[in-house]
A and B are shown apart, each in its own frame.
Chain A
Amino acid sequence: MASKTTVRSEGGKVRRVVVVGGGLAGLMTVIKLCEAKVPVDLLSLVPVKRSHSVCAQGGINASVNTKGEGDSPQVHLEETAYGGDFLANQPPVRGMAEAAPGIVNMLDRMGVPFNRTPEGLLDFRRFGGTLFHRTAFAGATTGQQLLYALDEQVRRFEVEDVVDDHGVSIPGEKMVRKFEMWDFLEPILDDSGVCVGAVAQDLKTMQIRPFLGDAVVLATGGPGLVFGRSTNSVICTGTAAIAAYKAGAVYANGEFIQVHPTAIPGADKLRLISESARGEGGRIWVPKDKADKRAANDIPERERDYFLERMYPGYGNLVPRDIASRALFKTCFHEGRGIFDEATGKNELAVYLDLTHKDEKFLRAKLAGILEIYEKFAGVDPYKHPMKVFPAVHYSMGGLWVDYEADARGSLKAGSPRNHATNLPGLYAVGEVDYQYHGANRLGANSLLSCIYGGLVTGPAVASYRQAMAKSAFDLPKSIFEKAEKRATDDYARILTQNTDAKAPENAYKLHEELAETMLRDCTIERDNKALDGVLAKIGELDLRVKSVRVTDTSQRVNQGAQFVRHLENMLVLARVIAQGARNRDESRGAHYKPDFPRRDDERFGRTTLAVHEQVGSVKFVRAFDYTCAGETVHVTDAIDTSLVTPRERKYEQAGAASAAATGKLGSEPESKSGATTEAR
């Protein structure tokens, strides 16, 4: 009799885990699983090497302190918690900050061509929300280089045989099987609500089939497309997270959406100009005279308003993004002082990002990747002319709720099956799709770190979960999987056939435009309750109209139109979670800002937003719930663990305000209530 942990089931199938998503978070999870000898099926919308992580430009944070500035993981923790406006549970943040130097070393060993110092050591640059040089980088295409390094390591496991319990290779079975160009449709739950696999669709043949998995890990990235054009890749619709949410997974802090201050416009996408431009000395300004029509280079120094440096002398151009975007919005929108555009006769929502005072050779070595993007897409030479930039939706701090278990020091307990577990037993989430590390506002270059750290933690967590699970998916009756497959197949047939005879059918792409317009206008930098009521009403209207969508393509092969309908339906559900969360939170915190409630209100809102799906058209918010992990019932509340860094008001006007250590005032390190368990959250 095969026990639940033998490599092969009774029926001879290799017991695998399903990982959905091959960005940094997914790939790192796969590597850790393979090292723990757990075979994996890896699913992705695109060949994993083309995942959205490839877009990341600026770098990855790690307090290696090679510049002798006195940086340390403790400071990194403090600045991350402070930058996130104290919405994040702090033990995972500590775990991440402490692991960061090791992570960068690991990437270095994998061959990432990080920029170097004259001595041949890793070079570090500055990023927002800190005064330290903490960001390792490979030119200005760091995400690409990190993704490739992990992709290469996963490819090694693609050629490695699975060995059976006697150490003998199983012919034809490799540690990793990739299913690229597959769309995850929904998790498969057994009768007791345990996740035992996933249903997915091949986007070439449109075939739908179940994937059995002793656990499923979602590493599916962010939801930028809910806002139409953003800095995200076009595949970032958040659909997988919402499929899990609809199946019962809790979604946390959805209302926290980061708007990046510096992107360039485009008809299809808003391309980012990374914060690293400012980290390497770039300055933001507008002309002092709002009617100034001169070209940027003709405006003399004293007639420029370097407004971030003026408003925030402590951190200047490197204030966190929520603050920079708001300052930009105030300057351009409320004061009407954006760059004057001759073509429209208006002051635009645009400012200059200026690197022209820097040496060209220096810029080429450190920023060529992003300056190329500007040159290519804006058609102007950024080495000679200040760049014209706009704010754009960039990142979701919110995401699927995931658990963690703290150790005695208040860091993460390695190998606990609770780490990165969602409330659906057997379903894990990691990367931008989880809500764990960034609180109300993410600091630049912390995302690549949280994705990789998350993967390092999730792999072992899933391995432990497998040891403890009651039953393997591979020993369950087939009927569970057939039922799930049938439901998904029926739903797909519905999309293809609905409204074929309708007189005035709706067009999914047009509805998406309408959704994006309202979300972008009323649910980004500034939020107003009346406007949010309007957003919710609009989403309600779209919920109805989406039922009248007729698909533009009925083909049996690579049907992108039908796929989009499904993603749109899910985007509407997510939009409601975001907008309703924003409506309910009557305070200002990090990226969530309401002029009518300009202060943070820890008493009423110093807590995690926990959204539970009821049905399309309504969200339920809960303050507590129970879930089961590896046989243990865990009680979860919305309280935030701030035992490591005491919440206080953010003051970026003051240098070093983000960390006591950064001001040289060490010794005031907050006493660590490390004994506190996470039970009381």
Chain B
Amino acid sequence: MAESDRKDVGAGRKVRLRVRRQDGAERVETKRWEEFEVPYLPQMNVISALMQIQKDPRTVDGKTVAPVVWECSCLEEVCGACTMVVNGKVRQACSALVDALAPKGETITLEPMSKFPLVRDLCVDRSRMFEDLKRVRAWIELDGTHELGAGPRESARAQEERYPLSRCMTCGCCLEACPQVNDSSSFVGAAAVNQVRLFNLHPSGAMNRVERLESVMGEGGVADCGKAQNCVEVCPKEIPLVDSISQVARDTTKHLLFGWLLK
């Protein structure tokens, strides 16, 4: 069963990939490009091309090399693992379909994201993003998991505002694309700021609104955003990041000006 979907359409067609490789962050001398060619499969995405390289890692010049290393898990653009730079654009490799990228057999280039420490080949270390979730206290201060009845009532409209913000999969696209995120800045980036908005919108979450705002107020906070809007363009979940940034920026300003009155 389910094998019947393996049609032989496009038999003989090849997919060509140019892959940026490096054995580890400190091993700059191993930085190189390698090119591979794999058979085309129907409904093929970049991940299935990489999987074929993994099975038989040989470059176009017939040299056997170590298989390309990358991260992936869900394969349906919901876990965020497979983020990389495909043809110069940061995105998820699992939803990068070969038919769309290379309809005429063009070469597809793959590079790791550049704003995170390199681990190997296309794999980078995004742990700073998870650390940032701690910094902005992206959670609700629950009394406990014991039975305490239902949560606060919420209108369908409020749910429709929160749900899209809550779909952030910590993929890193927004940080990769942001000019303000770089070696010489400590800017926390759009994803974490969006979490501040998300939790401040929730009736229980709002009880810790001030701590969350203060977490993005000083050095590297929301004020470092240069409003370039690159983030919102690359966010695969179409999260209204610029709105989130403006909202949080307004709230922090208000808190800065009038916060002491409320203390």
Contacts and interface: CB of A to CB of B under 8 A. Distances in A.
Contacts of A596: none
Q: Describe B's contact surface by its main secondary structure.
A: loop
B95 A377 contact: yes
A109 B204 contact: yes
Contact of A111 (B56, B73, B123, B199): B199
A490 B169 CA distance: 37
Interface stretch (A45-53, A83-91, A465-473): A45-53
Max chain A Cβ within 10 angstroms of own Cβ: one of B74, B94, B155: B74
A561 B5 CA distance: 28
A254 B47 CA distance: 30
A95 to B, nearest CB: 14
Contacts of A250: none
A35 B145 contact: yes
B163 interface: yes
B149 interface: yes
A117 B169 CA distance: 27
A265 B142 contact: no
Nearest to A57: B78
Contacts of B2: 229, 263, 265, 270, 349, 390-392, 520
Interface stretch (B37-45, B217-225, B227-235, B239-247): B37-45
Nearest to B69: A558
B24 A344 contact: no
B3 A121 contact: no
Max chain B Cβ within 10 angstroms of own Cβ: one of A35, A110, A349, A378: A110
A552 interface: yes
B144 interface: yes
Interface string A512-542: 0000010011001100000000000000000
A108 B66 contact: no
B89 interface: no
Interface stretch (A148-156, A313-321, A494-502, A671-679): A148-156
A141 B167 contact: yes
Contacts of B4: 346, 348-350
A373 B148 contact: no
Contact of B43 (A55, A265, A333): A265
Contacts of B59: none
B79 A54 contact: yes
Contacts, number: 229
Contact of A115 (B43, B159, B166): B159
A409 B77 CA distance: 45
A507 interface: yes
Interface stretch (B132-140, B178-186, B252-260): B132-140
A507 B56 contact: yes
Contacts of A141: 78, 167
A114 interface: yes
A507 B154 contact: no
B18 interface: no
A553 B65 CA distance: 8
Interface in B30-72: 41-45, 47-48, 51, 54-57, 66-67, 69, 71-72
Contacts of B81: 46-47, 50
A55 B23 contact: no
Contacts of A520: 1-3
Given A52-B73, A376-B77, A552-B66, A109 B140 contact: yes
Given A152-B139, A155-B134, A233-B73, A139 B163 contact: yes
Contacts of B134: 155, 158-159
Interface in A337-388: 341, 343-344, 346, 348-350, 365, 369, 373, 376-379
B142 A153 contact: yes
Given A155-B139, A265-B43, A510-B55, A50 B74 contact: yes
A132 B244 CA distance: 38
A47 B123 CA distance: 13
A509 interface: yes
A411 to B, nearest CB: 15
Max chain B Cβ within 10 angstroms of own Cβ: one of A55, A139, A235, A266: A266
Interface in B179-217: 199, 202, 204-205
A373 B76 contact: yes
B29 interface: no
Contacts of B75: 233-234, 266, 268-269, 271
Contacts of B3: 517, 520-521
A113 B163 contact: yes
Given A120-B154, A270-B2, A155 B133 contact: yes
B156 A55 contact: no
B215 to A, nearest CB: 12
A155 B120 contact: no
A52 to B, nearest CB: 7
A564 to B, nearest CB: 8
A553 B151 contact: no
B108 interface: no
A267 B42 contact: yes
Contacts of A667: none
A108 to B, nearest CB: 4
Contact of A55 (B74, B80, B153): B74
B28 interface: no
A509 B55 contact: yes
Interface residues of B, number: 77
A593 to B, nearest CB: 13
B41 to A, nearest CB: 4
B7 interface: yes
A229 to B, nearest CB: 7
Contacts of A270: 2
A47 B24 CA distance: 20
Given A155-B133, A552-B66, A117 B156 contact: yes
A340 to B, nearest CB: 13
B151 A268 contact: no
Given A47-B130, A105-B150, A520-B1, A116 B155 contact: yes
Contacts of A378: 43
B148 A266 contact: no
Interface in A8-42: 31-32, 35
Contacts of B133: 152, 155
Max chain A Cβ within 10 angstroms of own Cβ: one of B41, B73, B133, B169: B73
A113 B55 contact: no
B120 A557 contact: yes
B188 to A, nearest CB: 16
Contacts of A510: 55
B169 A144 contact: yes
Contacts of A271: 75-76
A530 B4 CA distance: 22
A151 B71 CA distance: 20
A517 B3 CA distance: 8
A235 B73 contact: yes
A113 B45 CA distance: 31
A349 B2 CA distance: 7
Interface in A139-189: 139, 141, 144-145, 148, 152-153, 155-156, 158-159, 180
A376 to B, nearest CB: 5
Interface of A: 31-32, 35, 46-47, 49-52, 54-55, 102, 105-106, 108-111, 113-122, 138-139, 141, 144-145, 148, 152-153, 155-156, 158-159, 180, 204, 229, 233-235, 259, 263, 265-271, 329, 333, 341, 343-344, 346, 348-350, 365, 369, 373, 376-379, 390-392, 456, 507, 509-510, 517, 520-521, 524-525, 552-555, 557-558, 560-561
8 contacts: A106-B145, A111-B151, A152-B139, A155-B130, A156-B142, A233-B74, A390-B2, A558-B123
Interface of B: 1-5, 7, 9, 23-24, 41-45, 47-48, 51, 54-57, 66-67, 69, 71-81, 94-95, 97, 99, 119-121, 123, 125-127, 130, 133-134, 138-142, 144-145, 147-151, 153-156, 159-160, 162-163, 166-167, 169-170, 199, 202, 204-205
Among all A-B residue pairs, the 7 with the closest Cβ atoms: A108-B151, A265-B5, A152-B139, A120-B153, A267-B48, A267-B41, A509-B55
